[in-house]
Amino acid sequence: MNKYQSCASCRHNRSKCVRDCPLAPYFPSHMHQKFKNARKVFGESHLKQLLRSLPPHKRSTAMKHIIAEADIRVADPVGGSYGLVRNLELKIAEEEEELRRLRNVLSVFRGRGSGSVVAQPLVQKQGYIVQEHDNINYQGYHIPVLPIVPGGFLHALLHQEQRNNMFDLRDEVVPEHDVNPNQGEEE
């Protein structure tokens, strides 16, 4: 016996799903939440009307876009797709700015050849690891220190370098709380 399972639309409406149901190919039974999102954003009658107005070869693509837009709109009712794109563009701009700063610092080190770098001890401030005077003195040049943002590129690079034992900052990091200089001395 071949049992036909109701699509998400008919299941939602608690009606029997017929084989020529216009929404069945795009909303099988297991896609109930996606149907609810599309119905909430566009309305079921508009979805059916749209499908009827499109040529058959364009329906699948249109429904994929409608489903994606509905899911995004439910997740971010105010911004929708634009909000998602805007957030991604902002993240790209932040990463490009960090890359630009890193390239500037690298160009200073590459352009000066060998020499000594005098770095101030590192201090942890509000989740950032920064140098106490916020710069590095390199052959008379003061290079601003980039904050190492948790989760950012520099943070990942720092942890990778520590894992590779190329350098170890554990001895240079000053704790946020005051250390009692008399600790351990007997009175």
The confidence score (pLDDT) of residue 169 equals 45
Whole-model pTM above 0.85? Answer: no
The confidence score (pLDDT) of residue 88 equals 92
Q: What is the mean pLDDT of residues 157-186?
A: 50
Q: What CA dihedral angle connects 160, 166, 168 and 169, to 10 degrees?
A: -70
Average of per-residue pLDDT values in the chain: 72
Q: What is the mean pLDDT of residues 54-72?
A: 91
Going from the C-alpha of 157 to that of each of 66, 131, 141, 154, the distances in angstroms are 40, 17, 24, 5
Would you kindly state where each structural domain of the chain is located, as residue ranges? 8-75, 82-163
The confidence score (pLDDT) of residue 143 equals 58
